[in-house]
Amino acid sequence: MDSNLAYSLDQFTKEKSGVTRLTLTDFRNYQFLRINAELCPIVISGENGSGKTNILEAVSFLTPGRGLRGARLADIKRIVSQCIHDEYGPTAITPVNWAIAAEVCKGEELINIGTAVEQSAREAGEADDELRSFERRIVKIDGNKVSSQTELGKYISAIWLTPQMDRLFRGGSQPRRNFLDRLVYAFDTEHAKRTATFDHLYKEWYRLLKEGKQDNFWLSSLEENMAATGVAIAAARREQTARLNTFIEHEPDDVFPSVRLELDGTVEKMLDSMPAVEAEDKYRQILCKQRRNVLYNDNVDGVNRTDFKVYYRKKGMPADLCSTGEQKSLLISIILAQSKCQTLHKGFAPILLLDEVVAHLDDLKREALLEKIKELEVQAWITTTNPELFLSLKEDALFLRVENNTVVS
């Protein structure tokens, strides 16, 4: 198959990167699982419910956030069903703590990443007077606990496509915004911290207003911080969208249709016509004016409501009006563009986590996707119920099969 890559990746120095060993302990259906992986496509097959997506989810936890299912930490722990015995009452499950350890390779470097939950007491000074225990995800890099998950971005990044994302372009904007923000993280690791900070400030502001605590000084201080963080978020989103659009414009049309990306957000729009400092001031004023929206349960406008719009470039068609198959192809276009763009700019590719992606592609598209994965030299973790669809990767991929809560080669 002809290479359609307009920028040849061969002209650039790039480092191969990915996970070379993955160890799961009490994670979802795995009591203990170790996978020795290679920096190549990894095809994971198995029956429905065998634990394929759980492996991809574990890899996604090597990046900041809640992983590809957006899971609550408590749901990830392996649930062990016990014999329900009359004498012992109805306690049928015993949750245990989970951990993920990975050896990550980036060029010549080998990095050990560990992540797990930790029980800790809620910080003093929070509104709840009682001291409650809560769980948080901790991250260790080469044995040292890091203060922020953002640190992970230096060594690893991942992009995923899951069956749930088939509906990404329809319905509410939050999943689209999250998708976009993850594309930004890969280029600007601070972005993960910014979005987490904004969410934290926003929740605090919202809670104060809902509880009717009119502490003007505290509210203003929160608004000032939200405005500063929000403008930084908007600027980073604009930068990434522009970067991808420019990149895509130079790529020839392909089996996967070319996209055009747009942002629809008040703060992002402000930055069209004013410098960041002015936008911060204006955003602060907008937030202050919206205090009453919280009381009346009206929407609060700002970076928390920005929409990420995708168009089928050639047709000028918004993605939500495209057919289901076209929408899938548009998503594939975006992640392929992002992977290549990232390799060219950052020197290392993201890991691709493709959950049941080929099931609904026709033969031509499936083979084109597999060819692109080979060309990009990315580590792609691909799940399938039917490994026969991957014959063309026979020489290039690692084939794993999930059975009885373990993996066989």
Binding of Mg ion by 29 (CB under 5 A): no
Binding of Mg ion by 162 (CB under 5 A): no
Min dist CB 407 to ligand ADP, Å, is 11
Scanning 276-362, the segments in alpha helix (DSSP H) are: 276-289, 291-295, 324-346
Residues 6+ apart with CB under 8 A from 4: 251, 252, 254
Is the Cβ of residue 45 or residue 53 nearer to Mg ion in the bound state?
53
Binds ligand ADP (CB under 6 A): choice among 77, 191, 243, 313? 77
Strand (E) or helix (H) holding 118? strand 109-121
Binding of ligand ADP by 193 (CB under 6 A): no
Count of alpha carbons within 13 angstroms of residue 172, beta-carbon side: 5
CA-to-CA distance for 222 and 182, rounded, in angstroms?
Answer: 25
Binds ligand ADP (CB under 6 A): choice among 51, 64, 114, 387? 51
Binds ligand ADP (CB under 6 A): choice among 17, 54, 306, 343? 54
Bridge partners (DSSP) of residue 245 are none
Binding of ligand ADP by 386 (CB under 6 A): no
Bridge partners (DSSP) of residue 158 are 351
Piece of the chain touching Mg ion by CB under 5 A; list 51-59, 104-112, 113-121, 334-342: 51-59
Which residue matches tokens 């050639």?
314
Backbone angles phi, psi at 58, to 5 degrees: -60, -40
Q: Which of residues 311-330 bind ligand ADP (CB under 6 A)?
A: none
CA-to-CA distance for 394 and 399, rounded, in angstroms?
Answer: 8
Strand pairing class (380-384; 351-354): parallel
Binds ligand ADP (CB under 6 A): choice among 48, 119, 216, 273? 48
Binding of ligand ADP by 70 (CB under 6 A): no
Binds ligand ADP (CB under 6 A): choice among 3, 6, 34, 49? 49
Residue type, 375: E
Min dist CB 52 to ligand ADP, Å, is 3
Binding of ligand ADP by 153 (CB under 6 A): no
Binds Mg ion (CB under 5 A): choice among 29, 45, 53, 338? 53
CA-to-CA distance for 46 and 384, rounded, in angstroms?
Answer: 7
Min dist CB 353 to Mg ion, Å, is 11
Binds ligand ADP (CB under 6 A): choice among 52, 137, 309, 313? 52
Bridge partners (DSSP) of residue 17 are 106
**Which one, of 350, 400, 372, lies nearest residue 14 by Cα?**
350
Bridge partners (DSSP) of residue 398 are 42
Is the Cβ of residue 49 or residue 275 nearer to Mg ion in the bound state?
49
Using CB distances below 5 to 8 A depending on partner kind, what does residue 99 bind out of Mg ion, ligand ADP, none? none
Binding of Mg ion by 157 (CB under 5 A): no
Piece of the chain touching ligand ADP by CB under 6 A; list 72-80, 177-185, 207-215, 369-377: 72-80
CA-to-CA distance for 153 and 191, rounded, in angstroms?
Answer: 10
What are the tokens at 21?
């060993």
Min dist CB 78 to ligand ADP, Å, is 4
Piece of the chain touching ligand ADP by CB under 6 A; list 48-56, 128-136, 187-195, 295-303: 48-56
Apex CA 155: angle with CA 154 and CA 156, to 5°? 110
Using CB distances below 5 to 8 A depending on partner kind, what does residue 73 bind out of Mg ion, ligand ADP, none? none
Min dist CB 137 to ligand ADP, Å, is 15
**Which one, of 140, 200, 157, 121, lies nearest residue 351 by Cα?**
157
The site map against Mg ion for 326-345 (x = CB under 5 A) is: --------------------
Give the number of other CB atoms < 10 A from CB of residue 331.
Answer: 21
Q: Point out which residues bind ligand ADP (CB under 6 A).
A: 28-29, 46, 48-54, 75-79, 383
Q: Point out which residues bind Mg ion (CB under 5 A).
A: 53
